[in-house]
Structure 1
Amino acid sequence: MRIYTTYKVKIKHYNHIFKDTIKIYRDAVDYLINVCLENWDSISMYKGQNRLTYIEVLIHSTKENPVPKYDFDEKFYKIPSYLRRSAINEAIGKVSSYKSNLVNWQNNPVGKKPSYPKAGYVFPSMYRTVMYNQTDDYIAQVKVYIRNTWDWITIDLRKSDMDYIYRRCKNRKQCVPTLQKRGKKWFLDFPFEEKVTLCDTVVYDSTVVAVDLGINTAATISVMRSDGTILGRYFCKLPKETDHLMHSINRIKKAQQYGNYKTPRLWAKAKGINHDIAVKTANYIMDIAVLYNADVIVFEHLDKNGKVRGSKKQKLKMWRSQEVQSVVTNKAHRLGMRISHVCAWGTSKYAYDGSGRVLRGKNGGFSTYELCRFQNGKTYNCDLSASYNIGARYFIREILKSCSETDRLDIEAKVPQCSKRSTCTFSTLISLNAELTALVV
């Protein structure tokens, strides 16, 4: 598979010189959006590069096409050819998305009608040799609209940013940079492409890192094999960072009690701490995966859509589970590891030993929500039990997929829990392995 990563490099000393370039580019995109809308029936008949060629015939005058249908060249005099093509591709993408969304809305008119496409906050791609040239390690040239013409200017790139790229990305393919503005500063975003081969280990020989992401415990990790062997159990708590986060949230609540509802500085600090928790949690998970040379990292499929209710809604809103999974996915794919998700229903509700529902927190007589009591009276860590179930559900799904239809039906008849994934537990995996052993014998 291919992995794309982007690194930003700050442009030094310049602040307002790129505004005219961005304005012209966005105006060109808006103009081309109108062209695409007026001729979409004809454009939609073409695919890929042919669409761009067809639109260029409509707007750009050449020796073979002296009188185009639209006066694009007069409105955007001497605009670089690659910048024009970048604007065409941007317009095609926006109109294509608008048309498909409009058809979906007409078939099922739920919500508002898709809005008319606009250029919005798009930024141009600086194609090499014609829009961007690297003249030195920390110096480059870019073509911009300046002094009523398109001309080259020399820019200084921040040394620390470029050194990071030279150190980290020397074995990756560099793609076309993009001019971007963040706040009052200008940057060049350098995308890099790399090819990796994901592991293709047989499910019976694979090692899985099952992760249960939580609010009180950042991550509870179990390293498992397909036969149910637990190779390791780990807890990532981060108590110091959690205390800092709660302290920041309490300061926001205190400020809001006095009517100060807009607290950007306090919220920025809380979000920064929250981001730090997510990154440290992801790094901890990856350290465990590398330690055991894992083949797959398994998460719950967490759907956080909808309104959050209850006394812990603030904690749930600040829970960065999706960011943790995103960071782990990027790191794991670069190392050739796969990412998988399983159904989250009942992973914490059912005991890993198959004894049924657990009594958690106060319902089980505990002062903490991390402990639970099984129906057989056993006391156990609820998140650890959930991580067993997460890993077991992954193995059950993959093993059944590898079996023939006859064997699968035979197994489901003898182990009926396998047929309903939302009730599978670690004990189901043990029973499944016993039946597989019996089939082999």
Structure 2
Amino acid sequence: MQMYTTYRVKIKQYNNIFKETVAIYRHAVDYLITVCLENWEPVSALTGRNRFAYVEHLVHATKNNPCPAYDFDAKFYKMPSYLRRGAINEAIGKVFSYKSNLADWKKNPVGRKPSYPKAGYVYPSMYRTVMYNQTGDYTAQIKVYTRNTWDWITVDLRRSDMDYIAKYCRDRKQCAPTLQKRGKEWFLDFPFEERCTLNNTSVHNQTIVAVDLGINTATTVSVMQSDGTILGRHFCKLPKETDHLTHSVNRIKKAQQHGNYKTPRLWAKAKGINHDISVKTAEFIMETAVSYNADVIVFEHLDKTGRIRGSKKQRIKLWRSQEVQSIVTNKAHRMGIRVSYICAWGTSSLAYDGSGKVSRGRDGGFDTYELCRFQNGKIYNCDLSASYNIGARYFIREILKSVDENSRLRIEAKVPQCCKRSTCTFSTLISLNAELVSVAA
């Protein structure tokens, strides 16, 4: 599989000189969007490079096309050819997306009608040799619009950023950088392409890392095999970082109580601590996976869209579960480890031994939310029970996918809990393996 990663490099000395370049590029994209909409019927009939070539024929004058239908060259005089082609591709993509969304809305007119496409906050790509040239380890030349013409300027790149790329990205293919603005600073975003080969271990021979991401405990990890054997249980709590985050959030609350609603520095500190928690959590998961030579890392599919209610909604909003999953996915794929997701419903509320729903926190008579009480009276760590269920649901799904239809129906008749994946627990996996052993015998 192909992986794409992007690293940003700060431009040190220039600031306002890039504004006009970006403005011209966005105006060009808006102009080309109008061209595509007016000629969408012939454009949509073409595919791939033919679609791009047709739009370029409409706007750009050449020896074989001296009089194009639109005066793009007059409006954007001496615009670099690669920048023009990038704007054409951007415009075609936006119009294609708009037409597709509009067709879907007409079939089912729910919500607002898709708005007219605009360039928005797009940024130009600095294509090699014609827009960007690396002149040294920490210097480069880029072509921008300055002094009423397109000209080259030399920019200094931050030393630490370039050293990082030279150290960690030398084996990857570097693509054309993109000029980006973040806050008041300008960056060159360098995308890198690499190929990774994921393992193809049979489900019956796999070792998985079942991960339960939490708010109180950063993550609870169980290392499992397909027969239900638990090879390891590990907890990552990060109490010091959690206390720092709580302290930072309380400072923001105190400032807001005194009327300071805009506190960018306090929020920047809280976000930095939160990001540090995400990075350390992802590192813990990867270290566990590597130490056990795991084949798959299994997460819950956590959908955090929609309105959040309750007294702990701020903690849930600050919970960066998706960031942890994204970091782990990138690192795991680079090492050939697969990443899978299962249904999150009931993994924490159902006991792993199949005894039913658990009583958690005050409902179970505990001062902490980490412990739970099963219906049979057993007291257990709730996150650890959830990690068992997460790993079990993955194995149940993969095992049933690997058998033929008749065998699957026979197994589901003997183990009816397998029919509904959202209620499967660790005990269901044990029953499934017992049935597979009896069938094989």
TM bracket, shorter-chain basis: over 0.9
Q: Deviations over 1:315-348 (max 9, x none)?
A: 1111111111111111111111111111111111
State the alpha-carbon separation in 2 of the partners of residues 37 and 282 from structure 1.
Answer: 45
For residues 246-275 of structure 1, what are the alpha-carbon distances to aligned partners after superposition, in whole Å with 9 as ceiling and x for unaligned?
A: 111112222222332222222222111111
Write the distance in 1 (CA, Å) between the matches of 2:312 and 2:150: 57
Amino acid at match of 1:152: W
Tell me the equivalent position of 1:429: 429
Give the structure 2 partner of residue 400 of structure 1. 400
Letter in 2 for 1:238: L
Return the offset for 1:384: 0.3
Q: For residue 289 of structure 1, give the secondary structure of its aligned residue in structure 2.
A: helix
TM-score normalised by length of structure 1:
0.98
**Partner of 2:284: helix, strand, or coil?**
helix
2: distance between equivalents of 1:215 and 1:84? Answer: 48
SS of 1:17's partner is helix
Q: Which residue of 2 aligns with 1:364?
A: 364
Of 210-219 and 252-261, deviating more is 252-261
* Counterpart Cα distance in 2 of 1:414 and 1:408: 10
Residue matched to 1:114: 114
One-letter identity of the residue aligned with 1:188: L
Equivalent in the alignment of 2:31: 31
Deviates more, 1:189-198 or 1:269-278: 269-278
Query: What is the SS of the residue equivalent to 2:8?
Result: strand
Q: Cα deviation per residue 1:331-379 (whole Å; 9 max; x = unaligned)? A: 1111111111111111111111111221111122211111111122111
Letter paired with 1:318: L
**Which whole-Å CA distance do the structure 1 matches of 2:266 and 2:160 have between them?**
29
Q: C-alpha distance in 2, partners of 1:138/1:97?
A: 39
Give CA deviations for 1:372-416 in whole Å, capped at 9, x if unaligned.
Answer: 111221111011011001000100100010011111111111111
1:196-275 mapped onto 2 (5 Å cutoff): 196-275=196-275
Aligned AA (1:277): I
Kindly provide the CA deviation profile for residues 102-124 of structure 1, in whole angstroms up to 9, marking residues without a partner as x.
Answer: 11222222222211111111111
Summarize the alignment of residues 288-299 of structure 1 with structure 2, pairs less than 5 Å apart: 288-299=288-299
Tell me if 1:194 matches 2:198: no
Q: CA deviation at 1:422?
A: 1.2
Aligned-pair RMSD on alpha carbons?
A: 1.1
Residue 227 (structure 1) shift:
0.6
Is 1:20 the counterpart of 2:20 in the alignment?
yes
Shift of 1:48: 1.0
Secondary structure of residue in 2 paired with 1:380: strand
Aligned equivalent of 1:339: 339
Structure 2: state its 5+ residue gaps. Answer: none
Aligned to 1:307: 307
How far 1:149 sits from its partner (Å)? 1.6
Give the secondary-structure state (helix, strand or coil) at the position aligned to 2:16.
coil
Distance 2:305 2:122 in 1: 28
4+ aligned runs moved over 3 Å, structure 1: none
In 1, Cα distance between the equivalents of 2:203 and 2:230? 16
- How many percent identity over aligned positions? 77
User: What is the match of residue 56 of structure 1?
Assistant: 56
Q: Give the Cα separation in 1 of the matches to 2:149 and 2:89.
A: 24
1:379 is matched with 379
- Partner Cα distance (1:403, 1:299) in 2: 24
Q: For 1:226 and 1:247, locate their aligned partners in 2 and report how far apart those are by CA, in whole Å.
A: 43
User: Which amino acid in 2 is paired with 1:365?
Assistant: G
